[in-house]
A and B are shown apart, each in its own frame.
Chain A
Amino acid sequence: MVNEKKIQIKQVTDVTVKFAGDSGDGMQLTGSQFTDTTASLGNDLSTLPDFPAEIRAPAGSLAGVSGFQLHFSSSDISTPGDSPDVLIAMNPAALKVNIKELKPNALIIVNTSAFDAKNLKLAKYDSNPLEDDSLQGYNVIPVELTKLTMEALKGTDLSIKEKERCKNFFALGLMYWLYNRPVANTITWLETKFKNKPKFLEANKNVLMAGYYYGEMTELFTTKYEVLPAKLPKGKYRNVSGNEAVAIGLITASLRSGLPLFLGSYPITPASEILQELSKYRNFGVRTFQAEDEISGVASAIGASFAGNLAATNTSGPGLSLKTEALGLAVIAELPLVVVNVQRGGPSTGLPTKTEQADLLQAFFGRHGEAPLCILAASSPADCYWSAIEASRIALKYMTPVILLTDGYLAFGSEPLRIKPFDELPEIPVRFKVNPDDFHPYSRDENLVRPWAIPGTPGLEHRIGGLEKKHIYGNISYEPDNHELMINLRQQKIEKIADDIPDLVVEGDQSGELLILGWGSTYGAIREAVTRVKENGYNVSQAHLKYLNPMPKNLGSVLKNFKKVLIPELNLGQLALLIRNKFLLDVLQFNKVQGQPFKVSEIENKLVEILGGKNGK
């Protein structure tokens, strides 16, 4: 029978796959293995893990479904895909949660072993969807995944539970077969992971191969798919998540500036991976300090900055609120500091594992007094790397705190990062003050930046603090005119950074009917939406803000060149408020606050709605 099976190989340009199962089913691992293998084949890709805040919600429940979405392609892509082409559903709950997102005619590989009465009830199914007509319109492939896994492990001395836990590798093997990917990467990974546990190594390897061969043998599949390598720019690449990219970006800045990196941090979702990742790099001289609370996280970083390290702290919304007072201190003391805020759904505890862009105004105004600082936002997982370097560069050059805004979507999502040669990286020169002649702690250079004289330097002993200082000399001063002068100087220093950042780039026509202006993680969705509407004959231009404070100098003139400006944001209109205020411009808003990123289609529909009938086909 096997020999009679004719398998057709079909080439496709891009595919969106979603692995979904219980929180304990290893879906994140399965997804990231598939991602690594796919990356090594040279596809462009973008991923979106989606998991509950609960570590282990009750098995089989709707609340406990964990998913990993991967979009891979032979062309250049920038989002993890709106709707999966393929769903791997490990249980009824995973099917129920994800089915509404699928494309029509999507392929659904279901683990039928898990479709028993108990699991159907937990997933709140009145009848078995595999047996009623509810899955008409999809291409359902029933696979007894659990049973086949157990069979593959017959005779091994694993417990039933241990055997069952291998089933994600059966699914992975099957997907490798279906998309014509090699198993070698994952086998190498298993060999490292289970170096000292040979029985788990063997078991997982066997199950992976069993899944792979199942695809080959079963009558269920007649087609396998191929996605050719993408034509990415030449160079070396690695796949990075946003959090990982921030971590290695900070280390790169440490290497580039020659300063040791200090991270004061308190664990918080979705920012903890930055602390975890940086803690691995002791041999890079990285000092990670897991503090007793968020305040100590930022306070210790301010201390490290005073003492001459490249200092950073990372957090998410609630933590940024706690760090607020200390940020005011960093502003008035004029010390370099990188604050990475991985935005999540708020207010309060909100949606800890979900994404949002609602901390922009907090970054701008969330401190008492006039307390300006620099604000950047990363636009993609790989851009988190470049943004962390840029935030460090600005902090060190201008002796200022810099808030780098990322979000949950960027933090957990991943994409290829092109690695530049070291000497092509931005320069981050640091000059500590060492000469005691004519030293005043609050004198200023042409950029209004004060000198950095660190403890340990003979002859430069001085005191700084949170009280207002006398211009140039730094002693405590309560003089009314001096206070106003210092307020203005600190403001002007931040504004002057605009001379040192690139102009805003408009993609598409430089003037016209509609400009879509975004910031942060919405870049990919906006870009794909713009591409699609342009293919349909509409004319729209895109610009994306990385520098939020100060904003690029040409922003005003860019905005004036368009009749309409649309600002899509994952909040109620925070950038829109700033732009309206700054340029007295009646911008259009497009807002979504669901803890989920924009879908390309949502933005596309909005664009068509605005442009409808004007210059479309």
Chain B
Amino acid sequence: MENNNVNTINVPEVKYTPKDFASDVDVKWCPGCGDYSILAQVQRTSPDFGVKKENMVWISGIGCSSRFPYYMNTYGFHTIHGRAAAIATGVKLANPELQVWVATGDGDMLSIGGNHFIHACRKNINLKIVMFNNKIYGLTKGQYSPTSEKGKVTKSSPYGTVDYPFNAIKLATGSGATFVARTMDRDPKHLQEMLSRAAKHNGLAFIEIYQNCPIFNDGAYLPLTEKETKPDNVVVLEHGKPLVFGANKNKGIKLDGLNPVIIDLEDGKNSINDCFVHDELDDNPTRVFLLARFTDIPGFPTPIGVFRQFHKTPYDIDLMNQIDFLTEKKGKGSYEKLMFTENTWEVA
């Protein structure tokens, strides 16, 4: 019954290469910025997104991340601070055949744009929101952001912040997002995989990308991205697989009631069978919240991967179905039908 979704009707006739998605504009992010990697991975994976180039649209708000559309050789709209999700919603509803991507940052999406973000998630509008989270305001030169850790010293918090940060995964999940994932600028393969999966998801997809700002928050994710420390600090979520991490896959996470516990898989007391098995299709968000909490618990690894993906008819498809249904039922609207209602009279 559902309308065709974008991924099935727009199979490209031409085979694109990453170069086709690169615009001729000089990229102007700071040297070493994590955004370069994100751009490269998006361009690398775009040929596999299943849409014609002219049907891909990138919408952004304001911030370093929001310069993104200029560098993509697709349709793009660099809008105003915080409003990217709302503007993207209009684009998608005006033409549901478009694949609409949102490039945004932690300040743009979670602070000034918070209301649009939660409602886009709630309504399950078929947008692909890619949020670059560097836990800092970069373009305004170094104030703390809604994801900065409490106590962080920045230009606007010389004595440390007294704010508690948002956890974007929890916020998206709590708002009803049907695809929620996290990845990192310095893990290109994983980033590519998340982008491809978001592109193929039929509904709102949210990807939080941990992104390094070399100027104002350098090294914020260093323990997660460096070869030596990454295995102990990152757990990769894979559907149907147990939560195992560590250099030799020697650690696991099991559930003790509703509390996650780190277990040693080499101490003879625990085995891989005791580990929490990730089920991204579970539409009950309880376990997603458990996973999302890991970043708040000292000593726990940070999960990356798809936290959840489940199906709920996207807003745009329901809207178009309603239009189709009522057009069938009442007949296509015409000027006669519009103007000559039962209350019309004639003056001769």
- Evaluate contact between B333 and A251: CB separation under 8 angstroms: yes
Stretch at the interface among B54-62, B221-229, B259-267, B268-276: B54-62
- Evaluate contact between A458 and B54: CB separation under 8 angstroms: yes
- Evaluate contact between A461 and B80: CB separation under 8 angstroms: no
Q: Chain B: residues with CB nearer than 8 A to chain A? A: 23, 25, 52-55, 57, 59, 62, 69-70, 72-80, 83, 86-95, 97-98, 115-116, 118-119, 319, 322-323, 326-327, 329-335, 338-348
**A residues less than 8 Å from B347 (CB atoms):** 42, 229, 232-237
Residue picked from B76, B90, B326, B338, most chain A C-beta under 10 Å: B90
Given A282-B322, A329-B80, A466-B78, A303-B346 contact (CB < 8 Å): no
Given A40-B343, A264-B90, A282-B327 contact (CB < 8 Å): yes
- Evaluate contact between B90 and A305: CB separation under 8 angstroms: yes
Q: Smallest Cβ distance from A34 to chain B, in angstroms?
A: 13
Given A248-B338, A285-B327, A456-B97, A461-B53 contact (CB < 8 Å): yes
In the docked arrangement, what's the CA distance between A239 and B344, Å? Answer: 8
**B residues less than 8 Å from A252 (CB atoms):** 335, 338-339
Task: Name A302's contact: one of B73, B87, B323, B344 (CB within 8 Å).
Answer: B87
- Evaluate contact between A308 and B95: CB separation under 8 angstroms: yes
**A residues less than 8 Å from B53 (CB atoms):** 458, 461
Stretch at the interface among A286-294, A515-523, A561-569, A596-604: A286-294
**B residues less than 8 Å from A292 (CB atoms):** 86, 115-116, 118-119
Which parts of A436-468 form the interface with B (CB within 8 Å)? 454-467
Complex: chain B residue closest to A420, CB-CB? B339
- Evaluate contact between B344 and A296: CB separation under 8 angstroms: no
Task: Name A465's contact: one of B79, B97, B345 (CB within 8 Å).
Answer: B79
Sorted nearest first, the 8 A-B pairs with minimum C-beta distance are A303-B90, A465-B78, A284-B333, A300-B90, A299-B86, A307-B94, A463-B76, A304-B94
- Evaluate contact between A326 and B333: CB separation under 8 angstroms: no
**A residues less than 8 Å from B115 (CB atoms):** 292-293, 296
Assess whether A557 is interfacial by the CB under 8 Å rule. no
Assess whether A366 is interfacial by the CB under 8 Å rule. no
How many pairs, one residue from A and one from B, have CB atoms within 8 Å of each other in the complex? 208
In the docked arrangement, what's the CA distance between A306 and B59, Å? Answer: 11
Task: Name A287's contact: one of B83, B93, B333, B334 (CB within 8 Å).
Answer: B93
In the docked arrangement, what's the CA distance between A454 and B95, Å? Answer: 10
In the docked arrangement, what's the CA distance between A462 and B75, Å? Answer: 5
Assess whether A168 is interfacial by the CB under 8 Å rule. no
Task: Name B91's contact: one of A235, A239, A303, A462 (CB within 8 Å).
Answer: A303
Which parts of A338-361 form the interface with B (CB within 8 Å)? none
Q: Smallest Cβ distance from B323 to chain A, in angstroms?
A: 5
Complex: chain A residue closest to B334, CB-CB? A255
- Evaluate contact between A234 and B98: CB separation under 8 angstroms: no
In the docked arrangement, what's the CA distance between A233 and B348, Å? Answer: 8
- Evaluate contact between B330 and A283: CB separation under 8 angstroms: yes
Given A237-B344, A299-B86, A300-B86, A476-B70 contact (CB < 8 Å): yes
Assess whether A419 is interfacial by the CB under 8 Å rule. yes
- Evaluate contact between B23 and A463: CB separation under 8 angstroms: yes
Q: List 14 A-B contacts (CB under 8 A).
A: A36-B343, A233-B347, A236-B345, A255-B334, A264-B86, A281-B333, A295-B116, A300-B93, A303-B90, A305-B94, A306-B77, A326-B83, A454-B95, A455-B91
- Evaluate contact between B343 and A238: CB separation under 8 angstroms: yes
**A residues less than 8 Å from B75 (CB atoms):** 455, 461-463
**B residues less than 8 Å from A476 (CB atoms):** 70
Q: What are the interface flags for A359-394 relative to B under an 8 Å C-beta threshold, 1 for contact and 0 otherwise? A: 000000000000000000000000000000000000
Residue picked from B76, B95, B347, most chain A C-beta under 10 Å: B347
- Evaluate contact between B57 and A296: CB separation under 8 angstroms: no
Assess whether A88 is interfacial by the CB under 8 Å rule. no
Assess whether A301 is interfacial by the CB under 8 Å rule. yes
Q: Smallest Cβ distance from A580 to chain B, in angstroms?
A: 34
Q: Smallest Cβ distance from A393 to chain B, in angstroms?
A: 16
Task: Name B78's contact: one of A284, A293, A467 (CB within 8 Å).
Answer: A467
Given A232-B347, A296-B115, A419-B344, A262-B335 contact (CB < 8 Å): no
In the docked arrangement, what's the CA distance between A302 and B90, Å? Answer: 7
- Evaluate contact between B69 and A465: CB separation under 8 angstroms: yes
- Evaluate contact between A466 and B80: CB separation under 8 angstroms: yes
- Evaluate contact between A236 and B346: CB separation under 8 angstroms: yes
- Evaluate contact between A455 and B338: CB separation under 8 angstroms: no
- Evaluate contact between A303 and B348: CB separation under 8 angstroms: no
In the docked arrangement, what's the CA distance between A308 and B92, Å? Answer: 11
**A residues less than 8 Å from B333 (CB atoms):** 251, 255, 281, 283-286
Complex: chain A residue closest to B60, CB-CB? A465
Task: Name A461's contact: one of B74, B86, B97, B331 (CB within 8 Å).
Answer: B74
**A residues less than 8 Å from B83 (CB atoms):** 295-296, 299, 326
**B residues less than 8 Å from A260 (CB atoms):** 94
Which parts of A248-294 form the interface with B (CB within 8 Å)? 248, 251-252, 255, 260, 262, 264, 281-287, 289, 291-293
